[in-house]
Structure 1
């Protein structure tokens, strides 16, 4: 075990390690700490202090299962938010001053103990922190690192500890990365809505991003993200669960209200079982149009089937002002960014994290607000932890091109050579998906099609350009600069040497799509080409290395 990453969240915490078999980040799951499926990748960020003097605490799902998550002096939630805020109140329990720093330290210490019980002894630990609380977290971690992260094992060195801001980690996890890029992270968690517009670190060696505890600081900010604008409100998934409970109480339990009052029974709008069912319904409605659950009513000794549709949930969110608050937060962030010279159209990547970001109507609202951006949403819970881990593991085999590359083709209508970009400067390799291109013959009865790859360099001009941004094909118009094409290979006389040749049998014709060409970049920075003859349905080249890129 070389490294682990910990995304210590306000509501949930995710831990990731590197799976050498799949060569991918993988979430560490604890049978006795994680939430029930389908959220079994999450450890609830909860602490119950059983004996403060002895440092005996409970964390995670057992706190909920044993009913200790109700408001009481020994129960602590929203630990991360307490750490970020300047809370001076620190009650004494068992003679110990219980500060947010103490609770956070105990939570991390217990997590590490559970890791060691699974024989996981990391040599490096990467923790993610809010960009606006970077320094505060750094100082806190430096203060508690010896106690929390020390292994106290003979002949085993204590792990190195690195911290990385959450927006940068999310960008790494979603693959939306290039040094100095703008990214907007929208975090819709259990208790908060946070929007952070940041510019990623400017240093091109991504493996050096973040900060090592005890190492020299980064005065130039090369390895840290820079916060451009931030907006947020204290609203999230727990509020939605409560709204659903209130709606359920009004629509399903009013008939027996008199009996409940007569028997002085518990108000089901606060029933923990009902709350769990409402949370599950909310989760199901992110994937399905309808969701149902069965609640056993102890008063009537009967089972009540509860049904909700996605449109009903959306009506509740509209009535409670959830969408309005999200729009206000977006407008506030946009105004702050505009004051710094950044328009909405300048933001190309939106990264969604947190469970509420999975709600389809929320994603639709965000897409409508940022029409020019690509929205990343497939890893709402794990993107931050997985991205942070890639600093130590995945990015050892993943790097960035220093130059842009294109292929040259003959435009028979314009009767001139033209160039199409296939990989831009900063492109990640190895590529996750190939860049696909369809080619035709440029003249009747053509016997072969040659591929000439070259390096692009900028020069002043205005043009439309099809380019490859990360793993996404985009088109940009009216650029201030265009590129000149320099073939990768030439002979002693300066004549172009083609990188690949596809023989055509039968002969190629200009008005017929003939070849499908797939471009990949290997971990060795080799340009790999696969060529398929669309007419004969056969491979002319398969995984053929044609050039070394830089």
Structure 2
């Protein structure tokens, strides 16, 4: 049996991952030419589109025979992914098909394209897309996939899973499994789904916004299907934003937006709008980089290439109703679960998935509702594929901490800020007692006696995968975490209330010896717990007391 592979089949983009036995972790797979990298995280994703091709070489003809296809992937039946997008440069080719996933789930026999007298239904398009992805793996990585897990929407019917299973069998997959997307996301974010949990999953992709509250049923297997408690969905995604941007720039150039539709350059313009949008996820300003030829063809010779600020994008999204629609969908979802006796406080984790979750101020909507500690947001592109790969490999997921946590201290001589790590990433919880202990001297601001002691707890973000990871600073702004950065992204978790207790008697500034003995552990609810001894007063100030919730 070969390695364990996982496929996150999306409406607009898909992702492929493989289990790395040596490192005992999943890794994303890039397929040359047909994959594209996301601008921020450099994550390889595969656009879910097909450009049908009816080749006439002996390999093409032989490869279309079912008996041959189960054993060998000969010839080409379509171009997929990035190449398919490029071949449909004018957006009007009948050979080009996208958004076949929803149709496969609802009406698999619906004809989606007719080419050279042949009709192609959703089932056939899905088979061709998956076939060409498998063929690309075979060509570039010299491996035939025989073990594959594909993620499916949590509310999909068994017929959808059966369609995928039938396609996998036709393509020679010997061990095929499906996994609910929310369960996969939970595994990808490092959650132990053998425990019973109530999760809110937000998947905001290119074509749709899906919100669901699900409950993992545990105890049992890690891939046990989730129970759907409530869900909301909108036909709203990054593709809509690309069109809004294109129309905005057309108006700014004094052009009626409809004039651009159906032109030879329309798809190229949309692609450039997408690139600009992704740059503004983390940058303050971006320019629509149109080639000189396009500028001339569109009658824009001599004009400045338009630019847009991050604030301008926020205004555009607000005026287009994106934030209103998102907040209303979330409000309806919470109202629906409240009617079933589940309050907002009963939701254990909020899982953020999909590239459009990186749009400015989208993250803030969920942070305001649920608070930062409940958000799992650093793997929007990878979580589902990673989780499916973990499940495929049968890897045991333990409850562990995903980031480093540190105290803010000051060097006694230089007065520079330091962040000694008290809880390293990978720590399994709950811990058996304290796992870190040290002695501290209270700070005395302005040279006055200290009546209280403060501890500022920081989450440190560093990329831990081959891709760059993302994080959010204390102001909710998106930051890119480079692998191996010496300076991490730091977020104070208790900035508004760092005071943990009072000192009696107050600590005088002239005393430089240690006053407090502090130890930390983690309880079963993922709270950092502190035990504090006042050495001068011989008092126990805190005894395994929760301080902040970790992620």
What TM-score comes out, normalization by structure 2 length?
A: 0.66
Tell me which residue corresponds to 1:293. Answer: 288
Gaps of 5+ in 1: 151-157, 210-222, 402-421, 442-472, 476-508, 522-534, 536-550
Q: CA deviation at 1:87?
A: 6.4
Evaluate the alpha carbon distance shift between residue 204 and residue 325 of structure 1 in structure 2; reply closer, same or farther with a 3 A threshold: same
Matched, 1:191 2:207: yes
Gaps of 5+ in 2: 65-76, 401-421, 441-491, 495-511, 525-534, 536-551
Tell me which residue corresponds to 1:481. Answer: none
Tell me if the contact between 1:24 and 1:394 (Cα under 8 Å) persists in the aligned partners: no
Between the aligned partners of 2:249 and 2:242, the Cα distance in structure 1 is: 10
Correspondence for 2:170 among 147, 158, 177: 147
Which residues of 2 match residues 490-501 of structure 1 at below 5 A?
none
Between the aligned partners of 2:228 and 2:305, the Cα distance in structure 1 is: 47
Tell me which residue corresponds to 2:244. Answer: 243
Cα deviations across residues 451-495 of structure 1 (Å, max 9, x unaligned)? xxxxxxxxxxxxxxxxxxxxxx999xxxxxxxxxxxxxxxxxxxx
Tell me if the contact between 1:245 and 1:269 (Cα under 8 Å) persists in the aligned partners: no
Tell me which residue corresponds to 2:180. Answer: 165
Correspondence for 1:277 among 247, 262, 272: 272
Tell me if the contact between 1:46 and 1:63 (Cα under 8 Å) persists in the aligned partners: yes
Q: CA deviation at 1:23?
A: 3.2
- Root mean square deviation of aligned Cα: 3.9
Cα deviations across residues 440-459 of structure 1 (Å, max 9, x unaligned)? 79xxxxxxxxxxxxxxxxxx
Tell me which residue corresponds to 1:105. Answer: 127
What TM-score comes out, normalization by structure 1 length?
A: 0.66
Say which is worse superposed, 190-199 or 430-439, in terms of deviation.
Answer: 430-439
Cα deviations across residues 103-137 of structure 1 (Å, max 9, x unaligned)? 11111111111112221234521110001114122
Report how many residues are paired: 407
Cα deviations across residues 280-299 of structure 1 (Å, max 9, x unaligned)? 11111111222223323113
Evaluate the alpha carbon distance shift between residue 433 and residue 232 of structure 1 in structure 2; reply closer, same or farther with a 3 A threshold: farther
Tell me if the contact between 2:198 and 2:349 (Cα under 8 Å) persists in the aligned partners: yes
Between the aligned partners of 2:523 and 2:326, the Cα distance in structure 1 is: 39
Q: CA deviation at 1:374?
A: 1.0
Matched, 1:330 2:327: no
Correspondence for 2:103 among 68, 78, 82: 82
Evaluate the alpha carbon distance shift between residue 363 and residue 432 of structure 1 in structure 2; reply closer, same or farther with a 3 A threshold: farther
Between the aligned partners of 1:77 and 1:52, the Cα distance in structure 2 is: 20
Q: CA deviation at 1:515?
A: 5.4
Between the aligned partners of 2:262 and 2:317, the Cα distance in structure 1 is: 23
Tell me which residue corresponds to 1:64. Answer: 85
Which residues of 2 match residues 363-512 of structure 1 at below 5 A?
363-371=363-371, 374-393=374-393, 395-396=395-396, 398-399=397-398, 437-438=436-437, 512=515
SS at match of 1:388: helix
Between the aligned partners of 1:400 and 1:279, the Cα distance in structure 2 is: 37
Q: CA deviation at 1:349?
A: 1.0
Correspondence for 1:204 among 216, 220, 224: 220
SS at match of 1:228: strand
Tell me if the contact between 2:207 and 2:240 (Cα under 8 Å) persists in the aligned partners: yes
Q: Relative contact order: is structure 1 or structure 2 higher (C-alpha 8 Å, sep ≥ 6)?
A: 2
